[in-house]
């Protein structure tokens, strides 16, 4: 066996999109990084996500999360270009826009009023304009809101590219490494202790453990600060794509891929870590999809799966430094982890290197959840 190298500069807990994006960013800046993953890289929400880059469609009120989301969306084009350059992998990033549609005029009016604060202002599409944009949508739809700057990406391709890019940049990955706690030495993070009794020493610890974050001890956050919220997804397959935009209906969203697959999502369930796909959810998702695009009735049922969004009570991520110097959190991204990956990586990279964050972090400070 090869002798293990000296302690890395940074140990990252969690080999999902957040941890890997942060590790890649740090490695490109010359730091040595080890990523510890309890399962295999990208096993969880990172590859289960739908990949909606819904900076605006997912922002229902102005505020810091809406700003963070827009900042991350701005980073996306250059970020995926860099990934594609580094790996040759097409991440499926498409500036396709997102449509939020309504079956009745009053509902469309409500949607239009709700987005009045947004910049750029989403456009209201008439029934006819909507049909021109997506001819396979149900003709009974009253119209929709067009979020032209929102986009989509294929999370599995994105993750593969990220993982390969990080590995090529020198990041070391260890799978099956179950982190029990952060090691506190003289009031500073000094690494992490694994459940096999071993310790991985590092000057910086970044915890990006998604829905499993609260299971890591020594973070100084409440036991239930991050909770899993299950989402179920069903994939439909058609010979050609029936839609090109992401479509949000009243009861489901549809995310097309270029190859004729369309994801139909999703549920929001507090059921712990139970990874089922249930009959009632599939019934509801299929009903909603066929209601939006009747031709989906003849689509083939593809894969179905479920996974967990890392939910926080105020629905804001836990992003930034903690009360323990050297310990950084990048978790709790809830419904928008894929969207928020590049800005999160930029924030983590700046903080670990002692630079100023590119965005204000006060609203996301993990210590807001410190136990009394």
Residues found near a copy of itself in the complex (CB under 8 A): 236, 276-280, 282-283, 286-287, 289-290, 296-301, 304
Kindly report the CA angle at 72 between 209 and 203, in degrees rounded to 5? 45
> Which CB atom, from 117 or from 273, has the smaller least distance to a copy of itself?
273
DSSP code of residue 155:
H
> Which CB atom, from 142 or from 263, has the smaller least distance to a copy of itself?
263
Nearest to 100 by CA among 51, 155, 148: 148
Whether residue 302 contacts residue 289, with contact meaning beta carbons closer than 8 Å, is answered with: no
- Output the six-digit token pair for 256: 């097309």
> Which CB atom, from 204 or from 257, has the smaller least distance to a copy of itself?
257
> Which CB atom, from 302 or from 321, has the smaller least distance to a copy of itself?
302
- Output the six-digit token pair for 300: 């083939």
Buried b (16+ CB within 10 A) or exposed e, 275-298: eebbeebbebbbebbbbbbeebee
First-to-final CA distance of the chain: 46
Minimal distance in Å, beta carbon 182 to a copy of itself?
Answer: 36
> Which CB atom, from 66 or from 281, has the smaller least distance to a copy of itself?
281
Minimal distance in Å, beta carbon 234 to a copy of itself?
Answer: 8
DSSP code of residue 160:
H
| Cα(88)–Cα(147) distance, integer angstroms | 29
Minimal distance in Å, beta carbon 295 to a copy of itself?
Answer: 10
Nearest to 255 by CA among 159, 148, 155, 157: 155
> Which CB atom, from 199 or from 295, has the smaller least distance to a copy of itself?
295
Minimal distance in Å, beta carbon 365 to a copy of itself?
Answer: 38
> Considering Cα of 359, then 364, then 365, then 366, what sign does the dihedral take?
negative
Sheet with 318-321, edge to edge strand ranges: 172-175, 33-37, 10-13, 204-207, 327-331, 318-321
> Which CB atom, from 259 or from 276, has the smaller least distance to a copy of itself?
276
Minimal distance in Å, beta carbon 264 to a copy of itself?
Answer: 9
Minimal distance in Å, beta carbon 51 to a copy of itself?
Answer: 20
Minimal distance in Å, beta carbon 268 to a copy of itself?
Answer: 16
């Amino acid at each position: 066996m090869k002798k293990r190298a000296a302690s890395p500069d940074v140990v990252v807990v969690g080999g999902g999109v957040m941890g890997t994006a942060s590790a890649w960013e740090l490695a490109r800046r010359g730091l040595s990084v080890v990523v510890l993953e309890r399962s295999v890289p990208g096993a969880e929400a990172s590859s289960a996500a739908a990949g909606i880059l819904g900076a605006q469609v997912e922002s229902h009120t102005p505020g810091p999360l809406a700003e963070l989301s827009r900042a991350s969306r701005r980073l996306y084009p250059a970020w995926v270009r860099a990934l594609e350059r580094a790996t040759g992998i097409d991440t499926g990033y498409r500036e396709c826009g997102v449509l939020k549609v309504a079956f009745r005029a009053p509902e469309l009016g409500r949607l239009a009023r709700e987005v009045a604060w947004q910049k750029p202002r989403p456009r209201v599409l008439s029934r006819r304009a909507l049909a021109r944009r997506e001819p396979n949508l149900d003709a009974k739809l009253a119209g929709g809101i067009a979020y032209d700057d929102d986009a989509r990406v294929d999370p599995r391709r994105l993750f593969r590219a990220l993982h390969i890019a990080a590995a090529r940049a020198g990041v070391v990955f260890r799978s099956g490494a179950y982190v029990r706690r952060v090691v506190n030495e003289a009031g500073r993070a000094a690494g992490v202790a694994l459940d096999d009794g071993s310790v991985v020493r590092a000057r910086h610890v970044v915890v990006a453990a998604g829905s499993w974050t609260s299971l890591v001890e020594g973070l100084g956050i409440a036991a239930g600060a991050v909770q899993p919220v299950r989402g179920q997804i069903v994939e439909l397959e058609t010979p050609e794509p029936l839609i090109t935009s992401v479509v949000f209906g009243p009861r489901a969203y549809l995310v097309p891929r270029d190859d004729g697959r369309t994801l139909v999502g999703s549920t929001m369930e507090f059921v712990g870590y139970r990874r089922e796909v249930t009959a009632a959810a599939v019934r509801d998702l299929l009903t909603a999809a066929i209601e939006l695009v009747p031709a989906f009735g003849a689509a083939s049922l593809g894969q179905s799966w479920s996974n967990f969004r890392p939910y926080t009570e105020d629905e804001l991520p836990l992003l930034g430094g903690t009360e323990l110097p050297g310990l950084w959190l990048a978790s709790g991204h809830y419904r928008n982890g894929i969207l928020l990956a590049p800005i999160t990586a930029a924030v983590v990279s700046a903080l670990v290197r002692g630079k100023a964050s590119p965005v204000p972090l006060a609203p996301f400070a993990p210590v807001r959840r410190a136990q009394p």
